[in-house]
Amino acid sequence: MSTALVILAAGKGTRMNSDLPKVLHPIAQASMLEHAMRSGRALDPARTVVVAGHGADLVRNAVTEIDEEAEVVLQEEQLGTSHAVDQAREALQGFEGDVVVLYGDTPFVSADTLERMVAARTSADLVILGFEAADPGRYGRLVMQGDSLERIVEYKDATEAERALTFCNSGLMACDAALMFDLLAKIGNDNASGEYYLTDLVELARTAGRTVTAVACDEAETLGVNSRSDLARADALFQSKARAELMELGVTLMAPDTVYLAFDTVIGRDTVIEPNVVFGPGVTIESGALIRAFSHLEGCHVSRGAKVGPYARLRPGAELAEDTHIGNFVEIKNAEIAEGAKVNHLSYIGDASVGKASNIGAGTITCNYDGVMKHRTEIGARSFIGSNTLLVAPVKVGNEAMTASGTVVTQDVEDGALAIARAKQENKPGRARKLMDILRAKKARLVKGSE
């Protein structure tokens, strides 16, 4: 049976107090919408339709970056959840299969939960996702009779007995596409808010003699985000779960609460992560690496046995081979550092390649940008780059070559050669004292003139 996803992402999110559409606010370096779409991928959907409204152009651009095949439809007026889902009617015209409704601001529904919802469709026409709430508050209650869902009752309409129920409505559901759109056409807005509510599907389905059931999931999966405080709680929840999973897989986090992970961080077993390390998107760390304190990594690959930091920055395109050393206050960008090479102190290596077992001295800079174009620096194997060397790209340093400290390299250095390019030193006797006397006198005149 084919599955289509309809993801509701039209809300403005007034409580976020933001120009950014609510669903585009990030959790672990990915928007809530991306989390929802990634969860939905577990169903291998034939179609994905995102319903946008507020900030539709921004949402459309984000959707395209996540999944080029996903469709975006516009809900010009936000008239309720039923009205939102109905905006996908034309996009899914003729689709035969199940529709699963997700919410762009409910990012943590698991693949297992979605699969159980779809599996429950084999014995029920309409499946609602519910959860046992520790504090049910003003959630809508799911009134069950055995495996059958009798109705969804809103808190304000519930009796005291119904308010005592703890099985609550998440808003997610699965239904045959033809049946869903047939029932949606019958939903009215005769209520205090004048909105079209998706929850009315339950009563309409039962009136039509259809079977309705509910699937339960953990309450944390249904966490909705409506404010900055909710966003912070959601991010903390993600981090806590992700850290626990890494440690279960054999990764050492020396101070877990200080390590910040992205949604797609991959770290191999026996890797050690010291305190206060931040992972941006697109980071893969192989087994047995060491990431020292206060380092920041994004868009990079770190191989087995490599050591990074402390206070190192790996930017997109950084590729570290096995047993490399990247030390304190070193930045690597779009560069390959070959096996056993070392960049240990206060250096910038960008748009470059560093050969096997080479040593890059402190203060080395690859001057890769001319103000318009980026250029590459190539350093061969077993080379030694002296401290405070400036490599003005495009330039090549051969195998087993050296540069003297303070050298500005503007021409290629052949294999085995020593490059020296610095001005001749001259010592001027007594000139330092004279210069300081002049400067002090100038300062004194400025101070007197300001009085």
345 is catalytic: yes
Residue 440 lies in a domain: no
Per-residue pLDDT, 331: 98
Q: Is the pLDDT of residue 67 over 90?
A: yes
Average pLDDT over residues 42-51: 97
- Report how far residue 327's alpha carbon sits from residue 313's, in angstroms, rounded to the nearest whole number: 9
Identify whether residues 266 and 350 lie together within a single domain: yes
Per-residue pLDDT, 423: 86
Sequence-distant (6+) residues with CB within 8 A of 250 are 269, 270
Residue 447 lies in a domain: no
Per-residue pLDDT, 235: 97
Sequence-distant (6+) residues with CB within 8 A of 40 are 5, 7, 48, 100, 102, 114
Are 319 and 302 in contact by the 8 Å Cβ rule? The answer is no
- pTM, two decimals, is 0.89
Domain that holds residue 315: 228-419
Which member of 54, 296, 345, 375 is catalytic? 345
Sequence-distant (6+) residues with CB within 8 A of 25 are 13, 16, 18, 31, 32, 225, 231
- Return the CATH number at 46: 3.90.550.10
Q: Is the pLDDT of residue 11 over 80?
A: yes
Domain final residue, candidates 222, 244, 269: 222
Q: Residue 103's closest CA among 165, 40, 47, 168? A: 40
Pairing of strands 167-176, 98-103: antiparallel
Per-residue pLDDT, 1: 78
Per-residue pLDDT, 345: 95
Identify whether residues 202 and 280 lie together within a single domain: no
Sequence-distant (6+) residues with CB within 8 A of 335 are 317, 318, 319, 349, 350, 351, 352, 353, 354, 366
As a whole number, the mean pLDDT across the chain is 95
Write out the H or E segment, with its range, that includes residue 301.
strand 301-302
- Return the CATH number at 281: 2.160.10.10
Q: Which residues of 210-241 are buried (b: 16+ CB within 10 A; e: fewer)?
A: bebbbbebebebbbebeeeebbeebbebbbee
Residue 450 lies in a domain: no
Number of structural domains (the chain) is 2
Model pLDDT for residues 74-112, shown as the tens digit of each residue: 999 889 999 999 999 999 999 999 999 999 999 999 999
Q: Between vectors from CA 266 to CA 353 and to CA 333, what angle results, nearest 5°?
A: 25
Model pLDDT for residues 303-329, shown as the tens digit of each residue: 999 999 999 999 999 999 999 999 999
Q: Is the pLDDT of residue 154 over 90?
A: no
Per-residue pLDDT, 157: 83
Residue 263 lies in a domain: yes
Identify whether residues 194 and 245 lie together within a single domain: no
